[in-house]
Amino acid sequence: MSLDTLPIPSIPTESASAMSTPFDAADFDASVMSTYGRFPIALERGEGCRLWDTEGREYLDFVAGIATCTLGHAHPALIEAVTQQIQKLHHVSNLYYIPEQGALAKWIIEHSCADRVFFCNSGAEANEGAIKLARKYAHTVLDIEKPVILTAHASFHGRTLATITATGQPKYQKNFDPLMPGFHYVPYNDIKAIENAVTDIDEGNQRVAAILMEPLQGEGGVRPGELEYFLRLRKICDDTGILLILDEVQVGMGRTGKYWGYENLGIEPDIFTSAKGLAGGIPIGAMMCKKFCDVFQPGDHASTFGGNPFASAAAIAVAQTLEQENILHNVQERGEQLRARLRAIATKYPHLFTEVRGWGLINGMELNADIELTSVDVVKAAMEQGLLLVPAGPKVIRFVPPLIVSAQEVDQAAQVLEQAIATLAL
């Protein structure tokens, strides 16, 4: 089957080309700061799991705006919700009550272990909120003067100064020092390292106040957390009063086949954060906490845009659609199907691939460390064949399609990937 055998939805004539002149990458680069290494295509239109670039080429989208477009592109429920909301009221400020924000918070609380929610606009910002809450908790409840937060090697928590410090990868920190004090790094899935750090970091006024972890490391190579590790982490936190903070920015909101990543680990966090998929691609962030939610008092933390009517309405539409269309079930089934297909490819090319791993619809395929081929090489080859993928580090290819992906589209992605691998002539 080729991409051409699937029906292409007809293009409404008025939106056939929003651009009056052809897209010019050099012109773009002359005006936009060069913080990204961009792939050489410009996307113009989408529907479901398909995207079209400015040249009219069609792609199967297994990136979903990096695990963000939960309902794919141009989903009727999302269009309806944001259209209605913007016609009524899109922004007012948290100076006033925002009913849509309250409804979204209520949905999150009813579908998670959280007692209260704070809204912001991105993953990094949600993690900043969690770090601030943990520090205030340390000062006012645990009586720690210099609180330390433990995070993992190969983690990713965002690009603000506090969150690059929390991120246990030197490449994101280089040349941005002085970094934020109060962070210490340990290997992921290694309970002994946590126990040692908790014991060692205990001098006078300095102590471990919180542990910040991803339930599954996304950017760091799609590495799932181990059950036993997280059970022990929970126990250590219960015994000591240390807060367990989970960064659910990439895996939350159904991506793993459960609403929250921690549900795969048999534990509940004290604080967790969400962003990427929460409003299906409309910017939003959220920080959820349990029990000690009163640590933050009026004036302690704020966001101008956070939880505005527009973003909240979008997230409610995503939440309702996940529920009404039983999308979590699709995530579980399509995830198993995809891993089976990727494992078959890995078995066929054992010199190229070492492992396929993931939960639900966040999956990674790891390349052999001994060969020169990188994840970017594979991503580029797949793009040439009409399949969009995203690297998770230099050796892992990440598959994070919209959660509405069909069985046929999963099969097609596997086929196109195999064609792409064949073109690499290895």
Ligand X SMILES: *Cc1c(COP(=O)(O)O)cnc(C)c1O
Catalytic positions, please? Answer: 156, 247, 276
Q: What is the CA 93 to chain-centroid distance, rounded?
A: 26
The CB-nearest residue to ligand X is 123
CB of 343 to ligand X, least distance (A): 24
Residue 400 in the binding site for ligand X (CB under 6 A): no
Q: How far apart are CA 162 and CA 89, in angstroms?
A: 33
- Single residue of 219, 270, 366, 409 touching ligand X by CB under 6 A: 219
> Which residues 61-100 are close enough to bind ligand X by CB under 6 A?
none
Q: Sort strands 390-391 and 396-399 into parallel, antiparallel or unpaired.
A: antiparallel
H/E run at residue 323: helix 309-324
User: How many of the chain's residues bind ligand X (CB under 6 A)?
Assistant: 15
Beta bridge partners of 420: none
Binding letters toward ligand X, positions 260-279, x by CB under 6 A: ---------------xx---
CB of 371 to ligand X, least distance (A): 27
H/E run at residue 337: helix 327-348
Nearer to ligand X, 207 or 276 (CB): 276
DSSP-derived 3-state class of residue 357:
strand
Residue 358 in the binding site for ligand X (CB under 6 A): no
* Complete DSSP assignment for 106-132: HHHHHTSS-SEEEEESSHHHHHHHHHH
Beta bridge partners of 356: 365
Q: Which two tokens stand for residue 150?
A: 């433990």
Q: Annotated binding residue at 343?
A: no
Point out which span in 26-34, 195-203, 243-251, 414-422 binds ligand X (CB under 6 A): 243-251
Q: How far apart are CA 415 and CA 408, in angstroms?
A: 11
Contact 94, 302 (CB under 8 A): yes
CB of 123 to ligand X, least distance (A): 2
CB of 283 to ligand X, least distance (A): 8
- Single residue of 45, 157, 234, 255 touching ligand X by CB under 6 A: 157
Cα angle: 99, vertex 72, 277; to 5 degrees: 50
Nearer to ligand X, 218 or 401 (CB): 218
Q: Which two tokens stand for residue 231?
A: 């059970």
Q: Annotated binding residue at 250?
A: yes
- Single residue of 70, 85, 112, 122 touching ligand X by CB under 6 A: 122
Q: How far apart are CA 60 and CA 414, in angstroms?
A: 11
Beta bridge partners of 426: none
Of the candidates 189, 254, 244, the residue with the CA atom closest to the CA atom of residue 216? 189
Residue 255 in the binding site for ligand X (CB under 6 A): no
Residue 214 in the binding site for ligand X (CB under 6 A): yes
CB of 68 to ligand X, least distance (A): 9
Residue 259 in the binding site for ligand X (CB under 6 A): no
Contact 116, 176 (CB under 8 A): no
Point out which span in 155-163, 172-180, 182-190, 314-322 binds ligand X (CB under 6 A): 155-163
Which residues fall in the annotated binding site for N(2)-acetyl-L-ornithine? 159, 303
Which residues fall in the annotated binding site? 123-124, 156, 159, 247-250, 303-304
Residues in contact with ligand X by CB under 6 A are 122-124, 127, 156-158, 214, 218-219, 247, 249-250, 275-276
Which residues fall in the annotated binding site for pyridoxal 5'-phosphate? 123-124, 156, 247-250, 304
